[in-house]
Structure 1
Amino acid sequence: MKPGLLAAVLFLLASAPALADGVAVIGSPDLPKLDNATIQKLFTGRIVELNGTRVTVVNAAPGHAVRTRFLAAFLNQGDEKYIAYWTVRKFIGKGQPPAELDSAAAVIRFVQSTPGAIGYIDAADLTPGLNVLNRK
């Protein structure tokens, strides 16, 4: 086997477990399932209500693998671009970036205890009773 091909195969095998679980967007029990476009609008502050319910969005902290996967899967961008987007929005007075939580457990607690809350976690961290709004 050629060294380049071997390196590519080893890379894919090493990254497969991290990619296998995916990202689950979760929300408070009162929220409906969401399509990708709605999730994108919520996490970029373009909409702040769903069916008359004020929505509170939370992110994982920068540098978390689940945040990187979420941004790529649902917003088609990386962390630097996302941070820059919110820097501009704040500067022009068009909103504040979502709060950032440090763990899946913190996101789950927040979503379960806050009406209208939406966050995301690694799909491997899903537990029974969570309201999964979308999953990739």
Structure 2
Amino acid sequence: MLCGFAGLFAGPARGAPSGAYKVVVHPDNPVNELSRARLSQLFFKKSTQWDSGVTAMPVDLNDSSPVRAAFCDEVLKRSLPAVRAFWQQRIFSGRDVPPPELPSDADVLAYVRANPGAVGYVPASTPTPGLKVITLLD
């Protein structure tokens, strides 16, 4: 009984994936795991290269995707409206443009397959043949 009670307060294991999405990279990318903070840097373009020197090419699902909202909350640590506001400010000031937004999971997968530096996310239930699913670390 005590073990069951203690289990109620245990947090997710380190590197436990979100139930909503999985992060995928090109199969030639040597990365197997990535911290959420590092992934956030790539998606906010605060870092533009992988450790290997390859240009990072993040790609988003469109705004209407509930998976995008979960990704923003859990990885970017901002709500989807806050992420939109961040990019509007960057665009208006002429500093940068957001990652491309693609309309479907299939489009994200095709983009990642076609670009060695690409990184994207899709619903956890989506098959990802020909791509590498990376582990997210806290």
TM-score of the superposed pair, with normalisation by structure 2 = 0.78
1-side partners of 2:127 and 2:19: how far apart?
Answer: 10
Q: Does 1:43 align with 2:43?
A: yes
TM-score of the superposed pair, with normalisation by structure 1 = 0.79
1:76 aligned partner, one-letter code:
K
Q: CA offset at residue 135 of structure 1?
A: 4.8
TM alignment of 1:11-50, pairs within 5 A: 21-31=19-29, 32=31, 33-50=33-50
Residue in 2 that maps onto 1:79: 80
Residue in 1 that maps onto 2:103: 102
Partner of 1:132: helix, strand, or coil? strand
Q: Does 1:69 align with 2:67?
A: no
Partner of 2:110: helix, strand, or coil? helix
| Contact residue 23 and residue 120 of structure 1 kept, 8 A | yes
2:75 aligned partner, one-letter code:
F
| Contact residue 23 and residue 135 of structure 1 kept, 8 A | no
1-side partners of 2:23 and 2:122: how far apart?
Answer: 7
Q: Residue deviations 1:57-81, cap 9 Å, x none?
A: 1100001111011111101111110
Structure 1 residues 91, 79: CA separation in 2 closer, same or farther (over 3 Å shift)? same
Partner of 1:133: helix, strand, or coil? strand
2-side partners of 1:127 and 1:45: how far apart?
Answer: 25
2-side partners of 1:127 and 1:62: how far apart?
Answer: 21
| Contact residue 26 and residue 134 of structure 1 kept, 8 A | no
Partner of 1:34: helix, strand, or coil? strand
Count of residue correspondences: 117
> Over aligned residue pairs, what C-alpha RMSD do you find?
1.7
Q: Runs ≥4 in structure 1, deviation > 6 angstroms?
A: none
Q: CA offset at residue 129 of structure 1?
A: 3.8
1:39 aligned partner, one-letter code:
L
Partner of 2:134: helix, strand, or coil? strand
